[in-house]
Amino acid sequence: MEITNKQQGIKVVGDVLDIVGGKWRGQILAHLCDNPKRFNELKTILSNITSSTLTKELRYLEDIKIVERNIVQDTPIIVEYRLTDHGKSIKDLIKIIIEWGLKHRKIVFKKN
Amino acid sequence: MEITNKQQGIKVVGDVLDIVGGKWRGQILAHLCDNPKRFNELKTILSNITSSTLTKELRYLEDIKIVERNIVQDTPIIVEYRLTDHGKSIKDLIKIIIEWGLKHRKIVFKKN
DNA sequence: AAAGTAAGTATCTTAAAAACTACTTGTATT
DNA sequence: AATACAAGTAGTTTTTAAGATACTTACTTT
């Protein structure tokens, strides 16, 4: 079946890449695939992200209902971010991305 | 198997999204998945792309050996762009992206 | 009481991506 | 001879993403 025959097919590529693309979103999602993480955990793992950027990205992912923010403990406040039930569907996508990347990194990636 | 356990796993997400991401690259690749296309064909299909942007994107994809430029006819010049053998491996990735997108578009996409 | 941690917010600046406009070379068409 | 098409290039401007820096609130630990 041809990809482009489905009229909707192509624009959707752009839409998905808006969600997952950019410098951080894919990485954030990848980290949340395994288990929920707190704000500062993410900040530490993604070693060069700033608070403001991380906040922005998380809010965006919340807005589109892929990630949810859970207040785990009120005082002192502890917040965790996790994939929503719906967001979990993204795991397969992330997995394929990683597999493709690992397989083709030698040929393709300029940097490193 | 946990995604983040593979140390390389996460950074590679960013690398792959650099290749495929951005406003146009994913769409260009999706169109080339089915069959080769000429410059102006792509320009027409991707209705709002400018020549200079299209050129830049194609040059980038050539650089990383995912797309190749073939001069089909010399005079008048006709050029076609196609996935390299190696580039064809991206089809599976594009397919998954489209599938995920089609399945989740109602919930997720703000615009449209 | 002072310092530190968690989870941010607010503002401004910089850098990178994409768009806009115009031009080019060679050929083919009317 | 003039116009149009194919496949671009060149330079500038606009838009968007990301980074830098500083500050905040409500606790907890020393």
Residue at B93 is within a domain? yes
Establish if B48 belongs to a structural domain: yes
Tell me the pLDDT of chain B averaged across its residues: 91
Percent of chain B residues past pLDDT 90, beyond the cut: 78
Paired with B77 in beta bridges are none
Q: Is residue A34 part of a domain?
A: yes
CB contact under 8 A, B101 and A16: yes
Contacts of A13 in chain B (CB under 8 A): 26-27, 29-30, 94, 97-98, 101
Residue–nucleotide distance: B52 CA to C22 C1' (Å): 12
User: What is the share, in percent, of chain A residues with pLDDT greater than 90?
Assistant: 78
Mutation target vs A (from B2, B6, B11, B15; most A CBs, 10 A cutoff): B15
Report the pLDDT averaged over residues B64-92. Answer: 95
Given an 8 Å threshold on Cβ–Cβ distance, is B96 in contact with A92?
A: yes
Q: What tens digit of pLDDT does each residue of B41-62 get?
A: 999 999 999 999 999 999 999 9
Q: Tell me the per-residue pLDDT of A102-111, one tens digit each, with 9 for 90 and over.
A: 998 776 665 4
- Mean pLDDT for B79-89 is 97
Sorting pLDDT into bands at 50, 70 and 90, what band is B111? Answer: very low
Residue A2 lies in a domain: no
Tell whether A4 is covered by a domain: no
B34, two tokens: 């089915």
Residue B2: band (very low, low, confident or very high) from pLDDT cuts 50, 70, 90: confident
ipTM: 0.91
How far, CA to CA in Å, does A74 sit from each of A32, A37, A71, A79? Answer: 22, 16, 7, 9
Distance C17 C1' – A33 CA (angstroms): 29
Instruction: Tell me, yes or no, if A33 comes closer than 8 A to chain B by beta carbon.
Output: yes
Query: What is the strand order of the sheet B37-38 is part of?
Result: B37-38, B78-83, B67-73
pLDDT in tens, B10-34: 889 999 999 999 999 999 999 999 9
Q: Has residue B2 been placed in a domain?
A: no
Domain of residue A85: give its range. Answer: 10-107
Provide the number of structural domains found in chain A: 1
Query: What pairs with residue A82 in β-bridges?
Result: A68
Confidence at residue B10, expressed as pLDDT on a 0 to 100 scale: 85
pLDDT at A101 exceeding the cut of 90: yes
How does pLDDT run across A66-89, given as a tens digit for each residue?
999 999 998 889 999 999 999 999
Q: What is the pLDDT of residue A67?
A: 98
Quick check: is B1 in a domain? no
Query: Which pLDDT value is given to residue B44?
Result: 96
Structure confidence at residue B38 (pLDDT):
97
Residue B96 maps to which CATH number? 1.10.10.10
Q: What is the average pLDDT score of chain A?
A: 90
A54 has pLDDT over 90: yes
Residue A47 pLDDT > 60: yes
Those residues whose C-beta lies under 8 Å from the C-beta of residue A33, and which sit 6 or more positions away, are A83, A90, A91, A94, A95, B3, B4
**Residue B43 contacts residue B51 (beta carbons within 8 Å):** yes
- With respect to residue A88, please indicate whether it lies within any of the assigned structural domains: yes
Q: What are phi and psi of B81, to 5 degrees?
A: -110, 135
